[in-house]
Amino acid sequence: MIQFLDLPNINARFENEFKADFNAFLKSGWYILGDAVKSFENNYASFCGTKYCVGVSNGFDALVLIFKGYIELGKLKKGDEVIVPANTYIATILAVIEAGLTPVFVEPNPDTFNIEAPEIESHISSKTKAILVVHLYGQLTKMKVITTLARQHNLLVIEDAAQAHGAKDESSNLKAGNLSDAAGFSFYPSKNLGALGDAGAITTNDKALVDVIKKIRNYGTSSKYVNDLLGTNNRLDELQAVFLNIKLKQLDADNEVRRSIAKHYLEKIKNSKIKLPFYDNSQNHIFHLFVVLVEDRDAFIQYLSANGVQASIHYPVAPHRQKALHRFNHLKFPITEIIHETCVSIPMSPILRALEVKKVIKTLNDY
């Protein structure tokens, strides 16, 4: 069976470094917000091209903390509307709600799966104060036109970059995390840059936002036992920072392997029953996921499994259809619903072998 994602072998490449740096961490006696977190924050800010990075507990908390930070700074207030993609993982929507804000759903481009400026503009109201874009599956949203639109309406722009570590806009030479006012990243183990547990980060060039978020993530403290704000505990774990520092050095190379595999898929898969993803052959896509659309998804996945190819679904139910978001269940988003009902993620990872890629292609062509 060709695994959808072989995490043990992906991480096995770093095992010796993991063990050596873990031993150093263990002997240091400093296990919370120590040198590893500071080092990773500096390294990841440099990687993204931003002035600042704040390590936090996970990607969901990264988005919540951005919103809470802007509320503390007076740039947002409870109840403000935030435009979001209708087709995203529910965590994006939950983060908006958790911060006391109101999500406004927008349909995506059916080819790129990302939201675009014309549809966003049609949903802007007097209550709209921010746009939360999602670089879904690892492909950058068209940020230049969105940020121009945002400036015209005095709106904040925030990136949910949980799937886009290292994706680059070649027109500006800027990476995900440096294309907006602030960005939230997830380092969930399956991400292109994955920790060995939960972890996340915020990138921005806004020092005032960083200062507030650093307080909020650590009980609202400005110094030990001095609490300026009603904060929480959303710190990046020191040990996860150790692992992330090691893996970050390999990220660009891994992303190139993913792009190479994606190009093979796009060139060689020829089946009218399968809609392939859009890709412009630039560095704007890191292929966290390679998502195809098929009408009879259950039959397709069963066929793949029977032929030794493991697949997954990201994501089977649209957020506005989830029981947890019952107040939005009455809404209709045809493009979003089609994507969620027909999407299938096929194997994609930096350790897929050439023979495995060839088998995946043949299996899809024979469907």
pLDDT tens column, 174-220 = 999 999 999 999 999 999 999 999 999 999 999 999 999 999 999 99
Distance (Å, whole) CA 25 – CA 17: 12
Averaged confidence pLDDT in the chain: 98
Residue 361, SS3 per DSSP: helix
pLDDT at 10: 98
Distance from C-alpha of 47 to C-alpha of 283, rounded to nearest angstrom: 15
For residues 337 and 343, give the distance between their C-alpha atoms in angstroms, rounded to a whole number.
Answer: 10
Answer yes or no: are the C-beta atoms of 153 and 124 closer than 8 Å.
yes
Average pLDDT over residues 148-154: 98
What ranges do the domains of the chain cover? 7-106+113-248, 251-365
> Does CATH place domain 7-106+113-248 in 3.40.640.10?
yes
Q: Which CATH superfamily is domain 251-365 in?
A: Aspartate Aminotransferase, domain 1 (3.90.1150.10)
Query: How much is the pLDDT for 146?
Result: 98
Residue 294's pLDDT is what?
A: 98
* pLDDT single digits (tens) 47-80: 999 999 999 999 999 999 999 999 999 999 999 9
Q: What is the pLDDT of residue 83?
A: 98
pLDDT at residue 218, as a whole number:
97
Q: How confident is the model at residue 321 (pLDDT cuts 50, 70, 90)?
A: very high
Q: pLDDT at position 364, please? A: 98
Give the pLDDT of residue 70: 98
pLDDT band at 260 (very low <50, low <70, confident <90, very high): very high
The one-letter amino acid code at 203 reads T
Q: Residue 200: which of 103, 313, 100, 91 has the closest Cα?
A: 91
The predicted pLDDT at position 114 comes to: 98
